Amino acid sequence: MKARTRVAIAILAFAALPLILVNGSSYVERRADAARSADLVLAGNADELAALLAATRSRWLESVRADARLPSADALLSTEGPPDPVQLSRFFAAIGSRDTVNINAVGLLGLDGRVVEDSRAVNRGRDESLAPWFLRAMATGQPQMVGPYTAPGDAVPGLFFTAVVRDAAEERRGVLRVRMEPSVLGQVMASALVATPGLSATLLDPEGRVLIGVGTLGERAMAIGNDVARESAEVLTIGDERVAVAPVANAPWRVAVRQPAAAWSAPQGTLKRDWLLETVLLLALLLGASLLLGRRIAAPLSRFSAVAGRMAEGDFSPVPRWSGAEEARQLGTALDGLATQLRETIGSLSRELAQRREAEEALRASREEYLALVEQLPGAVYRCANRDGWPMDYLSPQVESITGYTAEALLAGDAQGYTRLMPAEDVAAIGPVVDEALRAQGRFELRYRIRHRDGRLRWVWELGSVHPSADGGAGRLTGVLFDITEKETANQAMGLLRGGVEDRVGGDFFEALAAGLVRVLDVDTVLIGRFRGAPPSSLCSLALAHRDGRSERIEFGLTGTPSGALVEAGALEVVDDVHRRFPDDVDLQRRGLRAYLGRRLDDRHGRPIGVLAVLNGGAMQPGSAAARLLDLFQARVAAELERVIAAEALQHLAETLENRVAERTRELEAANASLSRAMEQLVQREKLASLGSLVAGVAHELNTPIGNALTVSTALNDIHRQFAGELGSGQLKRSALERFVQENTEATQLIERNLQRAATLISHFKQVAVDQASMRRRTFDVAELVVEVLSTLSPTLRRAPHQVQVDIPPGLCLESYPGPLEQVITNLIENSLVHAFEPGRTGHIRLSAEATDAGIRLRYEDDGRGIPVDVRHRVFDPFFTTRLGQGGSGLGLYLVYNLVHGRLGGSIRLLDGGTTGVCFVMELPAVAPAAGEETDG
Amino acid sequence: MKRRALLGGMAAAAGLGLLGCRPEAPSGATGALALRMVCDPWAGYYPAALAEVDGDFAREGLTVSMERSTSTDRMLAEFFAGRFDLMCASLGDMIPIAARDPTLRIVLTSDESAGADMVFRRRDVDPAAVARLRIGTDLNGFGELFMRDYLAHAGLAERDVQWLHVDAGDVAAALDAGQIDVGNCWEPFASAALAAGHVKVFDSAQTPALVTQVAVCQRRLLVEERERMRGFCRAWFAATDRWLADVPAGAARIEAALRLPAGEASLAGIRLHTLDDNRRLLTGTPPGLAPVLQRYAEFHARRGEAPGDLGALFEDAVLP
């Protein structure tokens, strides 16, 4: 804390404390005064209220005493019989009009206590002899006040005033009783409290019960002892109220003036606020004064402190002008001199230090750049002596990634660890190259192998240079080492492809590739296999090449093997402990293999067909060249394997094709025979259906004429019986005889016409039936034949609104088969009725014929909806119908075509009739071919 | 920095101290205003009950407790003693206290009796045949004027009569006891008189506007709580409109709220006053109700009583 602040706080503390104490003491006194004042207000109100109630009570008592002395009172009590109503009304009005609000009833009681007259009619005759106001008045002879009191039979209390009525001789005549509303007491109290808002008042009975209350708290019960304020006013706190209680003189009442404690203490709260305000203002003034004083005292010290602080931070500039007391100015000048000396000394030291730091910084930067350069090289840097075994004295850390050993490990001992990693033949091979460089004092470039810590061989490319010793000899060798295993492996793989694998196919390809990969990758085994089963369940090796040159063929189940896992995974690389991961693969363990890198071979459709895998007895490195070579050869091997499989399938197909053709031919022949039988059955069924339709038509058509004949013959029988009766009675008149003859003649003619009609129909039906059933050949007139056909179809035609027009000249005769021709015409008409016309529309059918050179041309037309263009070429096909499931069999026109082209020896075609209607044209020969000579359709 | 923090802390402490000794806000300044209302058991005042139970008063920031007094005299005395903030009474009943308290003000008119106040004759008495007709009524209120209208209507105005002070609740008993020949009362006391066999001979439908009911309070309340009293009127008339829109439903809700016997909240013979009625009756120059008050003033003056300045009852209107 600064000295200035400390000084200010000390001044503030010493000055403020006494002031606060004095002011606090004053506040306590003022607060007590405020409480006393509030109590005085309460007590004054209570005293005033008590005095007012006492005075009012006395006034009321005096009033009732005076009323009782009115002569009319004595007169009303002394009157025998009903009183004069005018006198009575005036008496009651004289008393009641004094307070129309509060005087409730005025009554005159006899000496026996019975109500003689009352301003309230219902009170007349009531016995009040036991009422306290009556008893007290009679006992004392003085005016009395009773209540608030609830009389027996009344629901609410009243305030009763009584006075004895005396006659002129001062003899008692009765009692005047005035009943007032008790609220009148409240009115008195309320009027007294008007001057002091916020106060409530309660009138208490001797036991402390609330009689009347005014104001917010007035009617609230209060717990107050019987001994409180019996003689004089008392102020006390009851619950959350401040209460002043005072006795009412000459009455058994006490009056309490009440105020909420919060309102009572409000002025004290104001005092408290004022006191706090004063205190805060006082403290603020003291604070300001003490700060000013502290600043004056502590300012020189602050400046010395600031200058010293600046010097500590290296700022030695002098203060322009020291101010203040003499001692302070001298001390400041001395401080400036000291600062000057320090500035010069520190300046020289700083310069020397800066130069040394710059030199060290340059050296450190140079070292860091060198190390960064060496360590960021993709290869390792070395330095060795030119002695046997080339002992190293430096190897950069990158040598670990090349050899698997740290630089420290290779530098340990005789420092020839790196040289020992080289195969002896490679050491021998590079010796001459190095010797040549030593002689030439120049650079050399080497390519050799080293045995990596993982046991595998790595290729290294080395670029070195010779550093002569002081005597001119080759003292040291330095250079860089690069791992070129990847590049060498790739080169060898490319050589493998170019050197004999690429041109081979099938088994030779797989064998050559497996053997080459063993050699290039320096691994124990390479497996190329083909899956068996769908999904794959076993693997048959196509090539299994070993390091020692052996090759074998195996087949094994995939369950629990790495190759089985490949089916799902697609690629698998287990670089160590593969036998732990696949403990069920006994063969793997037996061969002592620890690493497995494999790729699944898929065909062009993505189906797994085989495996290409590398297996090794030692652990392999993740991300080795072997994995990349597998990726490189995966597609090529898969393509070759797919080609082999396709060739096998082609061979198999060629072997089985002839058998399959023969089998399919037999199946087709059987199906064709079955279809022919089914069609024959359907045709026969269609013919039977036509015959059934014919019989139904015949029955219906014959029913009309035969029924008519039967009806007429029945009527004729009745006429005959009536006529016989008249004849037998001998009363036959001429007119009856003539009527009988006329009716007989008409009936006979009717019967004859109907039977003739039936005979004609039967003849037609017989001809059609015989023709259709027997396929009889005869010469017939085409027009007559058409008429007969229409007769048989007339029941059907009559049910429809359509019209049939026949334009066939008579005399066109054919020597042919009428039955099939009728069948043809019937089918065409029924076809039109079923398919051609919209419901509710009247259609037209037209049959016409003309003679041709070879016979006749018969044309059948309708104006229905026609046949869609895209299906016209199929209308004569069997089973073709546009109403399948709705009554169409699909055989109608097929039968027509067969009959016309077959038995009738003609032809039929469907003309292109546009969008409406159909038009069939039949060319029929005049002489039909004999049976077995039908034209080929 | 420390010095500034110290000074800031001291200033904050001083500020908090000053805030702490701020005088308390007056209690109830922002809470609901509680109004104590007293009324006769008369259905015309029951829109207040409907407004209370339906929350109209609460929405205006009011809580209204309604007390029903069985004695008009006691009700007037208690209101005069300051026990209640509002009183609902017949216009004629209020003339005596209006004469003594010039600060009394009409807040609103609730209704008009249009048949609910009735005059009964004793079942075996023909008023025209009685030598001196004894008339029982509340002589402090509108009863005497109402009965004089009856006498004029029945052609008995010149007859020798005896006026007896009988509360409406005692009329049936006084008729039974033979203490009076005719008397007036209203529901629910009228039903008791009818049940006893006494005969209705006149009703308030024949004295338009004479028996008008009002709600009154001290002028102080209107001045100090003008907006809330305006809200009181708004709530009252909203309840009135709702009741008139569906009379049976409103009566059922009121009877349930006040625990009344069924049928006691009947509007038979009562015409509720709406806001428009009130604007007509209480405002304007002169207000529509002034002639009725003038009639009461003249009547009291004839009785030798000074009714005071009744025109002051219309001042400080708080109708919405």
pLDDT tens, A224-253?
887 887 778 888 888 889 999 999 888 888
State what percent of residues in chain B have pLDDT above 90.
52
**Is residue A517 scored above 90 in pLDDT?**
no
A163 forms bridges with which residues in the sheet?
A176
Cβ atoms of B210 and B152 within 8 Å: the answer is no
What does the pLDDT read at residue B87? Answer: 96
User: Which of A316-325, A803-812, A903-912 has the highest mean predicted lDDT (pLDDT)?
Assistant: A803-812
Q: What is the pLDDT of residue B238?
A: 96
pLDDT at residue A309 in the model: 82
Chain B residues inside the 8 Å CB shell of A215 = 82
Residue B29, pLDDT above cutoff 50: no
pLDDT of residue B254: 95
CA angle A265, A266, A271 (to 5 degrees): 95
Enter the tokens of residue B4: 């500034």
Band of pLDDT at residue B26, cut at 50, 70 and 90: very low
Three-state DSSP at A621 gives coil
Q: Between A318 and B101, where is the model more confident?
A: B101
Q: For residue A371, what are the CA distances in angstroms to A462, A467, A934, B241?
A: 20, 20, 112, 101
For B12-112+210-314, CATH number?
3.40.190.10
Cβ of B179 within 8 Å of Cβ of A124? The answer is yes
Beta carbons of A219 and B83 less than 8 Å apart: yes
- Residue predicted with more confidence, A761 or A369: A369
pLDDT of residue B25: 42
Is the model's pLDDT at B21 over the cut of 50? no
Over residues B31-59, mean pLDDT: 93
pLDDT for residue B22 is more than 50: no
Q: A677 vs B50, which has greater pLDDT?
A: B50
Give tens-digit pLDDT for A459-496: 899 999 888 877 766 678 889 999 888 788 778 777 77
Name the percent of chain A lying above pLDDT 90: 15
| Interface test with chain A among B6, B21, B72, B132, by most A beta carbons within 10 Å | B21
Amino acid B38: pLDDT = 95
Mean pLDDT of B26-34: 63
Which pLDDT value is given to residue A73? 81
Tell me what pLDDT residue A879 has.
66
Distance from the Cα of A312 to chain B's closest Cα (Å) equals: 21
Task: Supply A565's token pair.
Answer: 């896992």
Are B80 and A183 an interchain contact pair (Cβ–Cβ within 8 Å)?
A: yes
ipTM more than 0.90? Answer: no
- The pLDDT, as a whole number, for residue A474 is 60
Give the mean pLDDT of chain A. Answer: 83
CB < 8 Å to B170, chain A: 120-122
Could you tell me if A864 and A851 are in contact, meaning their C-beta atoms sit under 8 angstroms apart?
no
Number of cross-chain residue pairs from A and B with Cβ atoms under 8 Å apart: 116
Residues of A in contact with B27 (CB under 8 A): 262
Question: What residue in A sits closest to B136 (Cα-Cα)?
Answer: A121
| A273 neighbourhood in chain B, CB within 8 Å | 18, 21-23
Residues in a beta bridge with A246: A255
**Residue A166 bridge partners (DSSP):** A172
What is the Cα–Cα distance from A878 to A884, expressed in whole angstroms? 13
Site from A101, A202, A280 to mutate, B interface, most B CB atoms within 10 angstroms: A101
What are the tens digits of pLDDT across the range A784-802? Answer: 999 888 888 887 888 788 9
Candidates B3, B14, B163; nearest CB to A5: B3
Q: What residue has token string 């000057």?
A: A340
Q: Which residues contact A180 (CB under 8 A, 6 or more apart)?
A: A60, A99, A102, A103, A104, A158, A159, A160, A161
**C-alpha distance from B141 to closest chain A C-alpha (Å):** 10
Q: What residues form DSSP beta bridges with A444?
A: A464
Residue A702: exposed, middle, or buried by beta-carbon count in 10 A (0-12, 13-18, 19+)?
Answer: middle
Test B74 with A214 for CB contact under 8 angstroms.
no
How close, in Å, is residue B175 to chain A by CA atoms?
Answer: 10
Residue range A79-95: mean pLDDT, rounded: 78
Share of chain A above pLDDT 70, in %: 92
What value does the mean pLDDT take over residues B93-106?
Answer: 85
Q: Which residues contact A21 (CB under 8 A, 6 or more apart)?
A: none
Interchain proximity B77–A184, CB inside 8 Å: yes
Say if domain B117-206 classifies as CATH 3.30.70.100. Answer: no
CB contact under 8 A, B3 and A2: yes
Output the pLDDT for position A224: 84
Find chain A residues with C-beta within 8 A of B166's C-beta: 120-122
Contacts of A184 in chain B (CB under 8 A): 77, 81
Contact A904, A820 (CB under 8 A): yes
Q: Does residue A119 sit in helix, strand or coil?
A: coil
pLDDT attached to residue A886? 58
Contact A219 B77 (CB under 8 A): no
In this complex, which of B7, B20, B74 lies closest to A181 when CB atoms are compared?
A: B74
Alpha helix (H) ranges present in chain B? 2-20, 47-53, 56-59, 72-80, 95-100, 143-153, 171-177, 189-195, 219-224, 226-245, 247-258, 275-282, 290-302
pLDDT (tens digit per residue) in B159-199: 888 888 888 888 999 999 898 999 999 877 888 899 999 99
Tens digit of pLDDT for each residue in A357-373? 998 998 898 888 888 88
Q: Say whether pLDDT at B27 is over 50.
A: no
Locate A279 and state its tokens.
């205190």
User: DSSP 3-state assignment of B137?
Assistant: strand
A449 close to A460: Cβ distance less than 8 angstroms: yes
Pairing of strands A907-910, B62-68: unpaired
Confidence tier at A861 by pLDDT (50, 70, 90): very high
Q: Is A606 exposed, middle or buried (0-12, 13-18, 19+ CB in 10 A)?
A: exposed
Q: For residues A570-587, b (16+ Cβ closer than 10 Å) or e, as one string?
A: eebbbbbebbeebeebee
Would you say residue A68 has pLDDT above 70?
yes
> Has residue A716 got a pLDDT over 80?
yes
Residues near A644 by beta carbon (within 8 Å), at least 6 away in sequence: A506, A530
| Shortest alpha-carbon distance between residue A41 and chain B (Å) | 20
Looking up tokens 């509060």, which residue turns up?
A102
Residues 6 or more apart in contact with residue A363 via CB below 8 angstroms? none
Nearest residue, CB atoms, B179 vs list A121, A184, A277: A121
Mark yes or no for CB contact B305/A269 under 8 Å.
no
DSSP character at residue A936: P
Tell me which residue has tokens 């009127």. B233
Mean pLDDT within B258-279: 92
What tokens were used for A93? 């009005």
- Read off the pLDDT of residues A305-340 as tens digits, 9 standing for 90 and up: 777 787 778 777 777 777 766 777 787 788 778 878
Chain B CB contacts of A100 below 8 Å: 96, 140, 305
What is the model's pLDDT at position A880? 74
List CB contacts (< 8 A) between A186 and chain B: 78, 81-83
pLDDT in tens, B59-72: 999 999 999 988 88
- Supply the pLDDT for residue A162: 93
- The boundaries of every CATH 3.40.190.10 domain in chain B are 12-112+210-314, 117-206
**A733: Cβ–Cβ under 8 A, 6 or more apart, which residues?**
A726
Q: Which of A191-195, A222-226, A906-910 has the lowest mean pLDDT?
A: A191-195
> Does the distance separating the beta carbons of A104 and B3 come in below 8 Å?
no
Distance CA A746, CA A379 (A): 140
